[in-house]
């Protein structure tokens, strides 16, 4: 989806995708080579709490341009773009997990491909939820935004519980997408730029609150969870605005323009690299596995996308020109017009 570029938003997306890849690498290693619980919590919880809600909030910042389009333009330029990648990567994720089922931590049910449109495979739930969010916001654009946020907050406090992981996650994170949409005028125009001391205090408070709640067993209680996530997101957005204003972290800004390709592909890479290292006997040290899997989970999808673009075959990450809704035909010109 073509969106207005924002240096701070791209840096935030770049940081968020690093955290997402890292989080899945940590989870995969924990399943294969269990670490002590205190070490896993320390490595995972402070970073895992902000990555996905931050992604949705940043996407919400730019949702207004999609909502201004007429229905044909909205469906073609917003939904169809996401739909293509959703279908392609459900097929590829399914094929990869079936082919390497003997090496997977969580083998896939062979019938899963029949239901991917209701229960997406692996990380493609993110695209499923995003399409649903855009459609809900479009259909409810005459409803006061505060009312939508309140309803989404209730869903986040009491998310869907069942076998459908996409619905669970979608109900949990819709509120962050709407908050991004609501805060867009502030975050995109003026930015959130706390001073260095305030920023350091916010980040320190977030880490302290996160680890304290983990220790007390309260991190996943709805209200503490929401508040600590908001505190973490505020700190990350402030840090990204601070970096953008000083022209730093250009590599994260660049990375932020390739988040979709990394997101849809990284779990295949991190799992593959982890298993190669373990089964070859090169290492079974959890921290080494995490670092190598994270680096590969970022670098390999980037290399694949850049290589396909060089070859003129970007269809894995971008819809082809033929996958477009037909433009509406112009109506008849009134007589005398």
Q: Helix (H, G, I), strand (E, B), or coil: what is residue 285?
A: coil
Give the model's pLDDT for residue 2: 40
Pick from 20, 264, 120, 265: nearest CA to 108: 120
Q: Are 254 and 87 within 8 A, CB to CB?
A: no
Give the model's pLDDT for residue 152: 95
Query: What DSSP character marks residue 49?
Result: T
Going from the C-alpha of 69 to that of each of 14, 143, 243, the distances in angstroms are 28, 18, 33
Sign of CA dihedral 186, 190, 191, 195: negative
| pLDDT, averaged across the chain | 90
The fraction of the chain above a pLDDT of 70, given in percent, is 93
Sign of CA dihedral 168, 173, 177, 178: positive
Give the model's pLDDT for residue 337: 44
* Domain boundaries along the sequence of the chain: 7-193+244-316
The DSSP secondary structure of 287-299, one letter per residue, reads HHHHHHHHHHHHH
Give the model's pLDDT for residue 328: 62
* Letter string b/e over residues 1-20, b meaning 16 or more CB atoms within 10 A of that residue's CB: beeeebbbbbbbbbbbbbbb
Q: What is the pLDDT of residues 69-98, one digit of tens each?
A: 999 999 999 999 999 999 999 999 999 888
Cα of 172 vs its chain's centroid, Å: 13
Report whether pLDDT(4) > 60: no
Region 211-232: what's the mean pLDDT? 90
Give the model's pLDDT for residue 144: 96
Q: Distance (Å, rounded) from C-alpha 321 to C-alpha 319?
A: 7
Q: What is the pLDDT of residues 231-254, one digit of tens each?
A: 999 999 999 988 988 888 889 999
Report whether pLDDT(271) > 50: yes
Give the model's pLDDT for residue 150: 96
Q: Are 314 and 306 within 8 A, CB to CB?
A: no
What confidence category does residue 126 fall into, taking pLDDT thresholds of 50, 70 and 90?
very high
Going from the C-alpha of 72 to that of each of 33, 281, 323, 326, the distances in angstroms are 50, 55, 14, 9
Task: Strands of 20-129 (E only): list them.
Answer: none
Q: For Cα atoms 242, 266, 83, give the angle at the middle one, nearest 5 degrees.
A: 90
Write down the residue that tokens 């730029």 correspond to: 193
Give the model's pLDDT for residue 108: 86
């Amino acid at each position: 989806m073509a969106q207005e570029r924002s240096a701070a938003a791209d840096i935030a997306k770049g940081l968020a995708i690093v955290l997402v890849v890292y989080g899945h690498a940590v989870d995969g290693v924990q399943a294969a080579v269990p670490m002590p619980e205190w070490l896993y919590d320390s490595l995972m919880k402070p970073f895992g709490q902000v990555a996905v809600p931050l992604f949705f909030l940043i996407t919400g910042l730019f949702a207004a341009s999609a909502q201004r389009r007429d229905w044909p333009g909205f469906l073609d330029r917003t939904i169809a773009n996401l739909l293509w990648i959703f279908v392609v990567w459900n097929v590829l994720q399914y094929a990869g997990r079936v082919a390497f089922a003997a090496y997977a931590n969580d083998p896939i049910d062979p019938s899963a491909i029949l239901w991917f449109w209701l229960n997406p495979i692996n990380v493609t739930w993110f695209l499923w939820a995003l399409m649903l969010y855009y459609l809900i916001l479009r259909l409810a654009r005459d409803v006061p935004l505060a009312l939508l946020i309140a309803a989404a907050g209730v869903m986040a406090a009491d998310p869907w519980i069942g076998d459908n992981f996409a619905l669970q996650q979608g109900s949990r994170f819709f509120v962050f997408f709407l908050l991004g949409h609501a805060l867009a005028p502030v975050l995109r125009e003026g930015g959130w730029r706390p001073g260095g001391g305030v920023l350091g205090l916010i980040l320190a408070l977030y880490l302290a609150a996160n680890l304290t709640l983990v220790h007390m067993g309260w991190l996943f209680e709805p209200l503490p969870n929401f508040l600590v996530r908001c505190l973490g997101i505020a700190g990350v957005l402030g840090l990204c605005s601070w970096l953008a204003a000083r022209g730093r972290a250009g590599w994260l800004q660049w990375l932020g323009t390739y988040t979709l390709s990394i997101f849809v592909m990284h779990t295949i890479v991190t799992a593959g690299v982890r298993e190669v290292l373990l089964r070859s006997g090169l290492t079974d040290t959890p921290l080494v596995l995490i670092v190598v899997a994270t680096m590969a989970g970022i670098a390999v999808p980037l290399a694949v996308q850049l290589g396909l673009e060089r070859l003129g075959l970007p269809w894995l990450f971008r819809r082809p020109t033929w996958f477009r809704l037909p433009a509406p035909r112009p109506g008849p010109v009134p007589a005398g017009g």
